[in-house]
Amino acid sequence: MAKRRITKIKLFTAMMLVGILAAGVYIVSLDIAVRARFEGKKFALPARVYARPLEIYPGLKLTLPALTAELALLGYRQTSAAQEPGTYRWRGRELDLVTRAFVFGDGTQDPISCTVSFTDGRVVGLTRRDGRANLDLVRLDPALIGGIYPGENEDRVLVSLSEVPQSVVDALIAVEDRRFFSHHGIDPRGIARAVFMTVSGKSVQGGSTLTQQLIKNFYLTAERTLRRKFTEMIMALLLEMHYSKQDILETYLNEVYLGQDGNRSIHGFGLASSFFFDKPLPHLSLSEGALLVGMLKGPAYFSPRNHPKRALDRRNLVLKQMVETGFITEQQCLAATSAPLGVVDRPARGTSPYPAFLGLIHRQLQRDYRDEDLRSEGLQIFTTLDPQVQRVAEKALQQRLSQLEKARGMKSGVLQGAVLVTATQDAEVQACVGGRDARFKGFNRALDAKRPIGSLIKPVVFLTALQHPSHYTLATLLDDTPLVLKQAGTGDWAPQNYDKRFHGRVPLRMALAHSYNVSTVRLGLALGVAPIMVNVQRLGVDRELPAFASSLLGANALSPMEVTQVYQTIASGGFRTPLRAIREVLTAQGEPLQRYPLNVEQVIEPGPNYLLTNAMQAVVREGTAQGLYNRLSPELGIAGKTGTTDNYRDSWFAGFTGDRLGVVWVGRDDNESTGLTGASGAMGVWGDMMVALEPEPLLLAAPDNVESVWIEPASGLLSAAGCPDAVELPFIVGSAPTGRSECGPRSLGGSIKNWFKGIFQ
């Protein structure tokens, strides 16, 4: 009997030792987990994407409505005095403005208090409000246009405990954990209450400490079981063993969930402060801080935007509890409870207002960064987006498509479109519209809609010809008579012109201006389709395209983005610069990580490119895009090209001025006919944009190897300035015709006639 008792004792002891060992191993594993997360990178910080900063300087073309819209996008507030950063006041044609501090790639910019003066849509004065010397330039902080969020779509702005108002800490202690600074991670009374409630079967709950709440949010799931609660308590004790109350409190303030913004979850008091009050956290008042603390119990239930009455009652309860704990006086409580909620009414920012442009940014970033870094390292991405240009592009597309549908009796919403606008000098993408609903985060037609480009290919055909000046010039007469192309394995192909007519012998320049199909095909076949497709690649399309005869009339499909790259090279004088939407990337600490400099390569000789641009100006001046000539000043010298595909399925226009290139596509997602040509569809959108943007004129500087000669168009022979129908055309030196028309120079009759004509004019 005694022997059996000893055996049981040994067995019990062994089991106890095994249990203690297992518990020790478990606690050690929990300890490792606690320290690994707390000492490592605590939070996954999303990448933040910014538009270009608006730089204001004397002489800048900037209207009052455009600046007002920019300030609204930035969240600046109009006040009676404009004293704090992020505020402004209009005084007639003068604007008192206080900019915000911001960390740019070239350093920190402190707030600037200034007055901006306007006259006739331009900035004419920029002065400091303190009376010091005038300013040369003021740079506004850039608009936050989106983010690349972690997998859980969590967003937060990290703050240090020193930035948190004491009233927020006091409210938190009063409501959530009054013994926070005296317990060691767990509150025995809270544990007893939780055990009683669970055992009695009423619920699994209990007054967790702030430390336990942090453990649950930071390490564990929301599972409501005794095992999870036991693990939570052990980890809370371990956390308090290793770290100070200040460290724990700071992490808690940055971790807690406080609301939802679309598909983006708002975490931490730093972000919640700007999201609800449009204020930095240190500037929160007593009542505002109490409101945020009160929301912790149920951010959706006590949402001040959706349930203001509940939020108000909850805030006032928090203030009363602060009186009970001695943090504030009755008088302070009375003043705070009398204050309004103060929540700003602003649109949701969870989904970027510019999803098409953000999609472009993400693709360019993925070439240089791992996706996990984009979603966790807090990178700051400064882009080329110009909100003013973007706004104009969106409006032009939406309104013009609606007008076209109404005028043609179409069902509303049938037509779709895409727009890209770039700066001709540096290939920066200023606007990207992926569809008529610019806020829709779905199929991005600007990047992904590959559609036949129709006559937009013709400038490349004619450029290829002009690269051979000994054979082709702008005055070369092309054959525009009927053509039947017999092809093995398929039916005969007989291209037709849009007007269903043939035009005999036409100057190369006019064949492009009027977009004649037959003469273009004949020219392309003489040159060879393959060299033309090589030129398309040289201009910017990074893939091989089929070299069929129909390719000469744009049967190949390109996206608006690819078309923009091709025309960007032409607009920049034959220099290929990859379209760029990112200027630089900074770390979360504001340190430069990577810059995206210009990468320029001359792929087309200046002479042929100059001749082509001259011919594209004729498209607008007297050809298929002449409608623009009637809407915009002839002095702009716009160069462009219309594009229409078979059965009017696709309507295109690409054109550029001295400072901007725009490419527009209009069509239907079901690929049915729109009934629109390039001129009646896409060109209208382009014209609406440019009327609003007031572009700079396109002033061409002739290369050294280009000379101007007067030509008689009908014969392609030399003429003189005073001769009937004579036109002055550019030629590569040595390529101008040598034959002379009857009215040409060195013709005696022609000279006498011109002499008399000059006298009596």
Are 116 and 123 a contacting pair, CB within 8 Å? yes
Distance CA 690, CA 392 (A): 9
* Angstrom distances, CA of residue 479 to CA of 69, 513, 521, 522, 619: 53, 15, 10, 7, 19
| 70: Cα separation from own chain's centroid | 15
176 is a catalytic site residue: yes
Distance CA 240, CA 251 (A): 13
Distance CA 209, CA 237 (A): 11
**End-to-end Cα separation, the chain, in angstroms:** 141
Spatial CA neighbour of 454 closest among 642, 697, 603: 642
Q: Is residue 504 within a helix (H) or strand (E), and if so which, with residue range? A: strand 504-507
Cβ neighbors of 710 (< 8 A, separation 6 or more) are: 718, 719, 720, 721, 723, 726, 727, 728, 729
The encoded tokens of residue 387 equal 């909100």
Question: In three state form, how does the secondary structure of 316-354 look?
Answer: HHHHHHHHHCCCCCHHHHHHHHHCCCCCCCCCCCCCCCC
In degrees and rounded to multiples of 5, residue 670 shows phi and psi of -85, 5
Distance CA 42, CA 267 (A): 13
Token pair 């690994």 is found at 36
Helix 458-466 × helix 517-527 angle, to 10°: 50
470 is a catalytic site residue: no
* Angstrom distances, CA of residue 484 to CA of 436, 552, 661: 40, 15, 37
Give the number of other Cβ atoms within 10 Å of residue 235's Cβ: 24
The encoded tokens of residue 132 equal 């010091």
| 223: Cα separation from own chain's centroid | 40
Distance CA 287, CA 290 (A): 5
Which one of the listed residues 154, 176, 394, 712 is annotated catalytic? 176
Residue type at 159 in one-letter notation: V
The encoded tokens of residue 251 equal 């992490």
The encoded tokens of residue 739 equal 């034959």
The encoded tokens of residue 14 equal 């062994």
In degrees and rounded to multiples of 5, residue 641 shows phi and psi of -155, 135
Spatial CA neighbour of 154 closest among 264, 42, 299: 264
Which one of the listed residues 455, 519, 559, 719 is annotated catalytic? 455
Q: Is residue 88 within a helix (H) or strand (E), and if so which, with residue range? A: strand 87-91
Are 679 and 642 a contacting pair, CB within 8 Å? yes
Spatial CA neighbour of 597 closest among 577, 576, 574: 577
The encoded tokens of residue 140 equal 């506004």
Catalytic residue set: 176, 455
